[in-house]
Amino acid sequence: MEAILKVKDLGIAFGGNKVLDSVNFYVNEGEVLGIMGPNGAGKTVLLNIISGILKADHGEIIFLGQNILKESITARTAMGIGRTFQVPRAFEHMSVYENILASVVYGQKVSEKAAAVKAREILKLVKLEERANEPAGKLRLINRKRLEIGAALASDPKLLLLDEVAGGLTNAEVNEILEIVKTIKGRGVSIIWIEHIIQTLMEGTDRIMLLANGRDLLTDTPEEVMKSSIVNEVYMGAEEDD
């Protein structure tokens, strides 16, 4: 299997706060890599660096064989990196359909007709067809998460970055998100999935990386990671800090 993404010795500090010290990992083609780690571990920061929102102080990001550290956010999106945001970002007054359509049209050369077809296809995939005409601002959380995933799919990503799309949902809703992610994976998309919920990590990922203390402390199959004493130590330590 070929790695679609390789991250080497990635580091970033904000002032004196060294959030990522040296992070190293890869994502294979068609794989779902889960990322877990305590609050403030730098998981979102890592996604922001991969998508180009933040600039790393050092390290390499190789996407499809090319170092992308100097590429802009839009260039990375065009190359095939899509992402969701931890706090969903929809145009509140626009309908669900218009939101998806806006994402499809944004930065892409696509005819009106093709854009409409694609927007409908995405609505179906994220199971929002019945909400197509509702204002995005009126959606409940599960549907906001669906819309967030749909918007990220608009650029046809080869690598999809998910930031806590299952956070705050009920068990039944988490299962619906798991189904959607499985469908996306089934289309050959590689995925990095940040989540706190153990069930999503166990059922929805192929491998899990534990990010803590600025480093990739452990990366292994979900079973091995959950058995590891390192995970316990990290989370126990985090609790004692509170």
Ligand X SMILES: Nc1ncnc2c1ncn2[C@@H]1O[C@H](COP(=O)(O)OP(=O)(O)OP(=O)(O)O)[C@@H](O)[C@H]1O
Give residues in contact with Mg ion (CB under 5 A): 43-44, 86
Q: Which residue has the tokens 């650029």?
A: 155
Per rule CB under 6 A, is residue 44 in the interface with ligand X? yes
One residue of 40, 137, 168, 237 binding ligand X per CB under 6 A: 40
Residue 114 main-chain phi, psi, to 5 deg: -65, -40
For residues 138 and 159, the answer to whether their CB atoms sit within 8 Å is no
What is the amino acid identity at position 114?
A
Size of the site for ligand X (CB under 6 A): 11
Q: State the binding string over 65-94 for ligand X (x if CB under 6 A, else -).
A: ---------------------x--------
Q: Give the binding range for ligand X (CB under 6 A) out of 42-50, 60-68, 77-85, 131-139.
A: 42-50
Interface with ligand X in residues 83-142 (CB under 6 A): 86
Out of ligand X, Mg ion, none, which partner does residue 159 contact, by CB within 5 to 8 A per kind? none
Per rule CB under 6 A, is residue 50 in the interface with ligand X? no
Q: Give the binding range for ligand X (CB under 6 A) out of 38-46, 90-98, 121-129, 137-145.
A: 38-46
Per rule CB under 6 A, is residue 43 in the interface with ligand X? yes
Task: Provide CB contacts within 8 A for 113, sequence distance 6+.
Answer: none
One residue of 10, 33, 36, 45 binding ligand X per CB under 6 A: 45
What is the amino acid identity at position 74?
T
Q: Would you say 25 or 97 has its CB closer to ligand X?
A: 25
Task: Provide CB contacts within 8 A for 54, sequence distance 6+.
Answer: 12, 45, 48
Q: Which residue has the tokens 């571990």?
A: 41
Task: Provide CB contacts within 8 A for 222, sequence distance 6+.
Answer: 34, 201, 202, 205, 206, 207, 208
Per rule CB under 6 A, is residue 37 in the interface with ligand X? yes
Q: How far apart are CA 178 and CA 173, in angstroms?
A: 9
Interface residues toward ligand X, by CB under 6 A: 14, 19, 37, 39-45, 86
